[in-house]
Amino acid sequence: MKRILNLTIFLIIMLLASSCLAKKKAVVPMNFVKPLSDTVTLSDGSLIYALPRTVFTIKLELERTIDIPGPYAKYAGELLGLEDVIISEEELWSVRSVSLNSHEEADPSELYVIESNTLIQSNVLALKKEGLILDLNPESVHQAKSIPDGKEINLNQFRSYDLGSDEYYLVQTDTAYKRVSVDSKFIRIPYIVEKKKILTTEQLAERAAKRLMDLREGKFMILTGEANVFPQSEAAIDEINKMEKELTELFAGKTFEDIRTFTYSYIPEKELADKPVEILKFSEVTGPADTTAKNGVPVILELIPEQKTKDLSRITRAPSGTTTPGPDKIYYRIPDVVNVKITMGNETLYNSRKLVSQFGEVMQLPANYIIGK
């Protein structure tokens, strides 16, 4: 009887042990990782992450030079002996510098879902420091967007000139008569009539040239000590120099220089590796323009991967249209080194090496690297 009792107790203990073992096996966490697609059904508690892609920001610093002729340009040689003055209005653009920066954003073609039969405990912050998973809400960047930096110059305010003369007309006097009846007789009474005659451009140029020469002579006398009155400070000489410059511009013209910055964003595509990509067109006359412009020299971007990751095994994904969970692995990306070259015609504007995420390989690491410990 005692032996039967002991056997019964042993069987009960075995049943309890097997039950606990079954329950313990049931709570073993299992993680499933699969690419996000239209056929994937998301459950509560699912975690979505994206692999990074590299975006280039190309910054061009351009210089614009604008020449505006003076109103008396054709009299510069005759009245002042000036040569090589500005005759017509011209605009000239040139490239000062080109720089390229890169940043990471979420790749919409590389979205993945992490599902688990238990509560997901992620160590994603530690992984983010390693650069393997991008922030969930990155800033969006548009491709080929031009952002001019600086205000546009209003040339109309520079086209007006102070003609450098107090009078722009001559006053001519003439004697006229009017008939007045006096004692049944008509007599003629004279009176003065003033008429204003506008000066011609040549006459105005002569007056401006004379005033300019007077200023130069006066400044020369002050500087050599021949003047009767001397200024108490440099303010008088500075004002004379300013007036002299303004009068000289009436004949020689004005030149303005404007530094402007244009920024273009470009997302490299692996299919375009080793192929020239036109970013914009540049003309020395009109400056930067869209790639569809008829005039201008194309600015070309070339991406030549060094294929540092070519020997790594490529991930074999589930066939399209299936929802079979992936293995207990996390997808991540190893960027490749790319030689970046920007040229315009025969001139190289930029040449450097950059890491480009989408040119690298998509690999896997154990899911417990970031999920659990």
Q: What is the pLDDT of residues 9-67, one digit of tens each?
A: 666 666 665 655 554 444 555 667 778 876 666 667 677 788 888 999 999 999 999 99
CA distance 14 to 109: 53
Could you tell me how far CA 363 lies from the centroid of its own chain?
Answer: 35
What's the whole-model pTM score? 0.67
Structure tokens of 238? 């500075």
Q: Where are the alpha helices (DSSP H) in 284-368?
A: none
Q: Is the dihedral of CA 105, 110, 113, 114 positive or negative?
A: negative
Q: Where are the alpha helices (DSSP H) in the chain?
A: 2-26, 76-80, 124-129, 156-159, 201-224, 235-252
**Polymer length of the chain:** 373
Average pLDDT over residues 141-153: 47
> Which of 60-69, 208-217, 218-227 bottoms out in mean pLDDT, i.e. has the lowest?
218-227
Q: pLDDT confidence of 132, banded at 50, 70, 90?
A: very low
Q: What is the mean pLDDT of the chain?
A: 76
Strands 297-305, 329-344: pairing kind = antiparallel
Residue 109 in this model has a pLDDT that exceeds 50: yes
* Neighbour-count burial of 319, counting CB atoms closer than 10 A to its CB (0-12 exposed, 13-18 middle, 19+ buried): exposed
Show the CA angle centred on residue 321, arms to residues 320 and 323, nearest 5°: 105
What residues contact 359, with CB distance under 8 A and at least 6 apart? 268, 270, 273, 303, 305, 335, 336, 338
pLDDT at 230: 73
Q: pLDDT confidence of 155, banded at 50, 70, 90?
A: low
Ranked by mean pLDDT, the top range of 188-202, 209-223, 271-285 is 271-285
pLDDT at 231: 74
Average pLDDT over residues 67-96: 90
Q: pLDDT confidence of 142, banded at 50, 70, 90?
A: very low
Average pLDDT over residues 151-177: 63
Residue 298 in this model has a pLDDT that exceeds 50: yes
What residues contact 47, with CB distance under 8 A and at least 6 apart? 113, 114, 115, 120, 122
